[in-house]
Amino acid sequence: MQENDPNIRWVDESPLSARERLYLPLFFEGLTTTLRHLGRSLAGKVVTVSYPDQEPKIDAPLIYRGVHRLNRDEQGRVKCVACFLCATACPAHCIDIVAAESPWPDREKYPESFTIDELRCIYCGMCEEACPVDAIELTSLYNLTGRSREEMIFDKEKLLSVYDQTKDKEPMRSQRQSTGSYAAEHNRK
Amino acid sequence: MPIVYIDDKEVHLQQHERLNGIQAAARAGVQIPYYCWHPGLSVVASCRMCLVECGKRDPQTGQISMLPKLVPACQTPATDGTVFLTNSDRVREARAMVEEDLLLRHPIDCPICDKAGECRLQDYHFLHGRGQRRADIKPFTSRKRSLGPTITLFVDRCIMCSRCVRFCREIAGTSELMVVNRGAHEEIDVFPGFPLSNKLAGNVVDLCPVGALADKDFLYRQRVWYLKSHPHVCAGCSTGCSIYVDQNQDRIWRLRPRENPHVNQWWMCDEGRYGWKYVHDPNRITAPCRRQEGQLKCIDWDTVWADLETQLPSVGGWTAVLSPFQTVEEAYLLAELVRSVDPDATIAVGPIPSQGRDERFPNGFTIRAEKCPNRIGVQTLAGQLQGELLSWEELKSRWKSQPPEGGLWIAGGYPASPWQSDDVEVARRARLLVVQELFPSALGAVADYRLPAAAFVEREGSYVNVHHRLQVFQWAIRPPRGVYHDGHIYWKLLGRPGLYRSAPVLQEVAERFLAFAAAKGEIPDVGVDLRIVQLAEPAETVMTSINSA
């Protein structure tokens, strides 16, 4: 990125208005939000979910950041092209990929092994953002448990099986309307 | 003194310097983009990326007359009064057009291209290209074919700079590569039955400014932005090429040549390029062993330190055999170690591995038959310490007539065992035999102490190549767990304070020995010629170093 790139519009921070500079008006504006929530919860409208006896309802499963999955293409092969961009973007360094020449003629590279350390992952969703081919996505599965650390290191097969489990409920990004509009729609409700 | 004008800057050249526009601009801190030009190859000016506005300043009137057309800076000599405009609107437009043309059919598969991250096309597109693609074709895949045992060509990624073709003709002299077809159908190829298999073939991958030529050994293995490059010296032969060791998490992924006009210019041979595999061999010795009841038993290092501290002085009559894989500093410390327990200790130099004959390429690049990096360094050191040079053969014949009385310390680092059966027979007669080696060998099997040795990428210090050029380097990767590099072992046994660092030891060597006097002070990246001191240094300095030695 260059600073003089014509495609970049540089915006200055707008100066503070008199009301903003006085500090207290905004302070009380924020406090009213807190008080409103307090009132609602005293009136019994906001309830804490007593997990695990009670399953929480995931309001927006398509933008929820739970367990990862590796998507399959139409022929059932792993979609991933082993470009390492998710591993590069990952701030927790939990993705480990071994790339190899792909056995299919239409693709050059594929992941020979693809493992995610689910214990190390911070579920930030950067891998999903970085992926150029919509191969890695986060699902709405949140209750992830295991008996050992080894069990929590998900390999390629396991990640593909998560896809098989969730593909009907949560379609791939490229096959649905953009998550942005989904979120907007959700907020409108 | 010729003056060249780059934009608004003046560059003063030496009287007989012959530079082109790109080099002159680099002096002024201006980078002119280029693909096809390479300082080590002939100029073809085919990529048109370095187009600049050029003119001439009249020395009398001071008037500048510009050429009507843009000229390639790589082909334009920077003579007195030449004016280059490198950032005018016309030049910028020309660069954007060249970039657009190159990217018409170049597949945009950067995420899976191994060159991404060190690709000229990528970098220049961000710097000089257009923000928007105007073409309606969007190629995404590239045809691929093998050019030889080590090289793969991604046909559609090629931008036809022809660097690889010129390299094979001018440097390797084997001319395997050629351009087939014409115009937009141009492709790089080899003639059927004549694969790209010369011993310098790996260099075409480094030369390729885009991801067209790929090394099969490195292809798909790592993304380049994971790699950390360490300047080092190749230990494949006594040429001692300057290299970069590219490692990630203490694993080497590739070696690349480092520019050094005095040693290897821009090149290195495939023998050295792929010669690092033994470093990660699982059979390497990774623990010190001691002979107990006739058997070698692994022990921990604390025991080694304690044992050797008591045993070294008690044995007496020491002989140290320096290895040509050791750095100068390590060899010096080993000599110091045995001299500290036995002031009359003998210093000899171990076997010098040799294979085949020297191979010389048309441009002068030579692969030496001597397959070790530091023969001159350790031999000079041994000669200076002892007054006469004692080779392994001489030591052996001496011992055959008169069996050794004392201890024998044999340093190692040989990738392949150089020991003959009679070597082992002679060495086992020593009262205490300490052997350092990378892989278990017949000699190590008869040792009283077998210590793991470090590979060249794990050492730090300096190597002296066949032309007496001393190059310093730092370790590139840490040795495997359980292995200490020689410097650490000797430093510890000598009881010197702190941790081993090579730089002060080299200064000590340079202070003590006249032959190493040129290594005094800061050593440049290209190394120093050890012979230079005797010619260039003022007489007093030479006299003081003689006196101090």
Task: Give contacts of A1 with chain B, Cβ < 8 Å.
Answer: 126
pLDDT at A174: 78
pLDDT at B101: 93
Q: Kindly report, residue by residue over B485-494, the tens digit of the pLDDT.
A: 999 999 999 9
Q: Within 13 Å, how many C-alpha atoms sit on residue B50's CB side?
A: 29
3-state DSSP assignment of residue B297: strand
Residue B229 contacts residue B243 (beta carbons within 8 Å): no
Kindly identify which residue of chain B lies nearest to residue A6, measuring between CA atoms: B131
Residue B548 banded pLDDT, cuts 50, 70, 90:
low
The mean per-residue pLDDT over the stretch B92-113 comes to 93
- Regarding whether A165 and A86 lie in a shared domain, the answer is yes
Task: Give contacts of B126 with chain A, Cβ < 8 Å.
Answer: 1-2
- Regarding whether B214 and B320 lie in a shared domain, the answer is no
In a domain, B315, yes or no: yes
Closest CA of chain B from A181, distance in Å: 26
Structure tokens at B140: 């995404």
Kindly identify which residue of chain A lies nearest to residue B111, measuring between CA atoms: A83
* Subunit contact B221:A99, Cβ cutoff 8 A: yes
Structure tokens at B469: 């050029």
Q: Checking DSSP bridges between strand A153-154 and strand A136-138, what pairing results, if any?
A: unpaired
- Regarding whether A90 and A25 lie in a shared domain, the answer is no
In a domain, B479, yes or no: yes
- Regarding whether B236 and B215 lie in a shared domain, the answer is yes
Question: Percentage of residues in chain A with pLDDT exceeding 70?
Answer: 91
Measure CB to CB from residue A100 to each of B126, B131, B220 and give the nearest one.
B220
Structure tokens at B61: 């009137």
Q: Kind and range of the H or E element at A35?
A: helix A24-42
User: What is the rounded CA–CA span in Å between residue B285 and residue B449?
Assistant: 13
- Regarding whether B300 and B252 lie in a shared domain, the answer is no
- A136: DSSP letter: E
The dihedrals phi and psi of A115, each to the nearest 5 degrees, come to: -125, 140
- Regarding whether A114 and A40 lie in a shared domain, the answer is no
Which CATH number characterizes residue B7's domain? 3.10.20.740
- Regarding whether B47 and B188 lie in a shared domain, the answer is no
- Regarding whether A127 and A72 lie in a shared domain, the answer is yes
Task: Give contacts of A100 with chain B, Cβ < 8 Å.
Answer: 220
In a domain, A73, yes or no: yes
- Regarding whether B308 and B237 lie in a shared domain, the answer is no
Which of the listed residues B87, B107, B126 is the one where a domain comes to its end?
B87
- Regarding whether A39 and A116 lie in a shared domain, the answer is no
The mean per-residue pLDDT over the stretch B128-144 comes to 89
Measure CB to CB from residue B127 to each of A2, A82, A99 and give the nearest one.
A2
Reference B351, options B422, B275, B450, B283; nearest CA is: B422
The dihedrals phi and psi of B117, each to the nearest 5 degrees, come to: 105, -30
- Regarding whether A25 and A82 lie in a shared domain, the answer is no
Complex prediction ipTM? 0.82
In a domain, A5, yes or no: no
In a domain, A70, yes or no: yes
Reference B111, options A80, A132, A102; nearest CA is: A132
Residue A78 contacts residue A160 (beta carbons within 8 Å): yes
Size of interface A-B (CB pairs under 8 A): 34
Closest CA of chain B from A1, distance in Å: 7
Segment 98-127 of chain B within 8 Å of chain A by CB: 109, 111-112, 126-127
Domain count, chain A: 2
- Regarding whether A169 and A83 lie in a shared domain, the answer is yes
The mean per-residue pLDDT over the stretch B297-319 comes to 92
- Regarding whether A81 and A173 lie in a shared domain, the answer is yes
pLDDT at B533: 62
- Regarding whether A102 and A176 lie in a shared domain, the answer is yes
Which of the listed residues B261, B279, B297 is the one where a domain comes to its end?
B279
Residue A58 banded pLDDT, cuts 50, 70, 90:
confident
The whole-model pTM stands at 0.87
pLDDT at A189 over 50: no
Q: Kindly report, residue by residue over B358-408, the tens digit of the pLDDT.
A: 999 988 899 999 999 999 999 999 999 988 889 999 988 888 887 777 899
- Regarding whether B423 and B304 lie in a shared domain, the answer is yes
Residue B183 class from Cβ within 10 Å (0-12 exposed, 13-18 middle, 19+ buried)? exposed
Question: Percentage of residues in chain B with pLDDT exceeding 90?
Answer: 85
- Regarding whether A168 and A146 lie in a shared domain, the answer is yes
* Subunit contact B223:A132, Cβ cutoff 8 A: no
Which of the listed residues B233, B249, B279 is the one where a domain comes to its end?
B279
pLDDT at B140 over 90: no
- Regarding whether A104 and A156 lie in a shared domain, the answer is yes
Instruction: Please name the residue that has the structure tokens 């007054």.
Output: B387
Segment 80-99 of chain A within 8 Å of chain B by CB: 81-85, 88, 99
Segment 481-540 of chain B within 8 Å of chain A by CB: none
In a domain, B104, yes or no: no
Domain count, chain B: 3
- Regarding whether B525 and B385 lie in a shared domain, the answer is yes
In a domain, B463, yes or no: yes
Which CATH number characterizes residue B270's domain? 3.30.70.20
Residue B549 banded pLDDT, cuts 50, 70, 90:
very low
Positive or negative: CA dihedral B217, B222, B224, B227 = negative
In a domain, B185, yes or no: yes
Closest CA of chain B from A71, distance in Å: 18
In a domain, A8, yes or no: no
Determine the structural domain holding residue A80 and report its residue range: 61-188
- Regarding whether B526 and B482 lie in a shared domain, the answer is yes
- What is the distance, to the nearest Å, from the Cα of residue B264 to the centroid of all Cα atoms in its chain? 8
Q: Return the number of other C-beta atoms located less than 10 Å from residue B93's C-beta.
A: 13
* Subunit contact B111:A99, Cβ cutoff 8 A: no
Selected residue of B152, B223, B224 to mutate for chain A interface (largest A Cβ count, 10 A): B223
pLDDT at A2 over 60: yes
pLDDT at A62: 87
In a domain, B19, yes or no: yes
The mean per-residue pLDDT over the stretch A91-112 comes to 93
- Regarding whether B248 and B337 lie in a shared domain, the answer is no
- Regarding whether B342 and B225 lie in a shared domain, the answer is no
Measure CB to CB from residue A99 to each of B141, B220, B225 and give the nearest one.
B220
The conformational region for residue B250 under phi > 0 = left, psi -120 to 50 = alpha, else beta, is left
User: What is the rounded CA–CA span in Å between residue B44 and residue B38?
Assistant: 10
Which CATH number characterizes residue A73's domain? 3.30.70.3270
Determine the structural domain holding residue B29 and report its residue range: 3-87
In a domain, A54, yes or no: no
- Partners of A70 in the β-ladder: A136
User: CA dist A182 to A124, A140, B397, B493, Å?
Assistant: 19, 15, 86, 69
In a domain, B12, yes or no: yes
* Subunit contact B131:A101, Cβ cutoff 8 A: no
Segment 194-223 of chain B within 8 Å of chain A by CB: 219-221, 223
- Regarding whether B513 and B393 lie in a shared domain, the answer is yes
Average pLDDT, chain B: 92
Task: Give contacts of A82 with chain B, Cβ < 8 Å.
Answer: 112, 220
- Regarding whether A93 and A181 lie in a shared domain, the answer is yes
- Regarding whether B299 and B222 lie in a shared domain, the answer is no
